C-alpha cells in the first residue's frame, strides 16, 4: 500500500511540474488584447499593424440594415485601428494639420436568414484635417467603407469620428444603401 501511495505521489508531482507553464499563479499575458474586436475570435493581428496603428476603437452593436425591409438589423463586431500624425503642409504660409490614418476590420451579420456568411469590411483610409489655433481643437471626420459579401444590396459602413490632437473617438456608425447600383442576382436562389 505504501508503494502504491508513493507511486501516486510521484505521478502527481511529475504532473504538476509538467503543467507548471499554465499555473493559475502565472501572470496574464498581454497577447489577449491583440485579438480585441477582430472579426474572428482566433485571428491574429500582425504586431507591425498594431505598432503602426497604435490607437484602437472597438466596434460592436446593432445597426439598421437598409438592404432588407421591415426593421431589419445587423450585428457588427470588429475594430478600428488609427494613427494620428502632426504634419505641416507645403502651403504658403504653412498650416499645421493632423494626418489621420484608419484601418477597419469588422464582421457584420445581417438579418437575412438565407445568407449565412458574414459581411466584411477590411479597408484602410487616410485623411488630413487642417487645424488652426483660432478654431476649435476638436474636429469631425466621416468616412465610408464598402461592405463585402452583402446579399441583397450594396452597402457602405459609414463611420463618424471626433478627432482631437491625440485621440480619435467614434461618434456614430450606420449602414447606408448605395443608390444607383443593383446587385447581380444569384441564379441558384
What's the CA gap between 115 and 109, in Å, rounded?
Answer: 9
Distance CA 76, CA 172 (A): 13
Q: What is the pLDDT of residues 81-125, one digit of tens each?
A: 999 998 877 767 777 888 999 999 999 987 665 666 788 999 999
- The pLDDT of residue 82 is 95
What is the model's pLDDT at position 18? 59
66: cell is 437598409
One DSSP character per residue, 78-143 reads EEEEEEEEEEE-SSSS--EEEEEEEEEEEEEE-S-TT--SPEEEEEEEEEEEE--TTS-S-EEEEE
- Tell me the β-bridge partners of 145: 157
At residue 132, what are phi and psi to the nearest 5 degrees? -145, 135
At 181 the pLDDT is 55
Q: Is 159 helix (H, G, I), strand (E, B) or coil?
A: strand
d(CA 71, CA 73): 6
Q: What is the pLDDT of residue 61?
A: 93
What pLDDT is attached to residue 150? 83
What's the pLDDT at 10? 72
* Residues of the chain scoring pLDDT < 50: 21-44, 189
Amino acid at each position: 500500500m505504501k508503494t502504491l501511495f508513493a507511486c501516486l505521489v510521484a505521478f502527481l508531482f511529475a504532473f504538476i511540474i509538467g503543467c507548471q507553464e499554465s499555473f493559475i499563479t502565472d501572470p496574464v499575458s498581454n497577447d489577449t488584447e491583440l485579438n480585441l474586436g477582430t472579426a474572428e475570435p482566433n485571428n491574429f493581428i500582425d504586431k507591425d499593424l498594431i505598432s503602426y496603428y497604435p490607437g484602437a476603437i472597438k466596434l460592436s452593436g446593432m445597426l439598421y440594415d437598409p438592404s432588407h425591409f421591415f426593421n431589419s438589423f445587423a450585428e457588427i463586431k470588429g475594430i478600428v485601428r488609427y494613427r494620428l500624425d502632426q504634419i505641416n503642409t507645403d502651403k504658403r504660409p504653412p498650416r499645421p494639420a493632423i494626418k489621420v490614418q484608419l484601418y477597419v476590420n469588422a464582421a457584420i451579420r445581417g438579418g437575412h436568414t438565407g445568407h449565412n456568411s458574414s459581411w466584411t469590411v477590411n479597408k484602410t483610409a487616410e485623411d488630413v484635417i487642417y487645424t488652426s489655433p483660432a478654431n476649435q481643437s476638436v474636429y469631425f471626420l466621416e468616412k465610408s467603407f464598402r461592405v463585402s459579401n452583402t446579399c441583397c444590396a450594396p452597402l457602405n459602413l459609414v463611420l463618424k469620428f471626433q478627432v482631437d490632437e491625440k485621440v480619435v473617438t467614434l461618434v456614430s456608425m450606420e449602414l447606408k444603401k448605395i443608390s444607383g447600383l443593383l446587385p447581380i442576382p444569384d441564379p441558384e436562389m
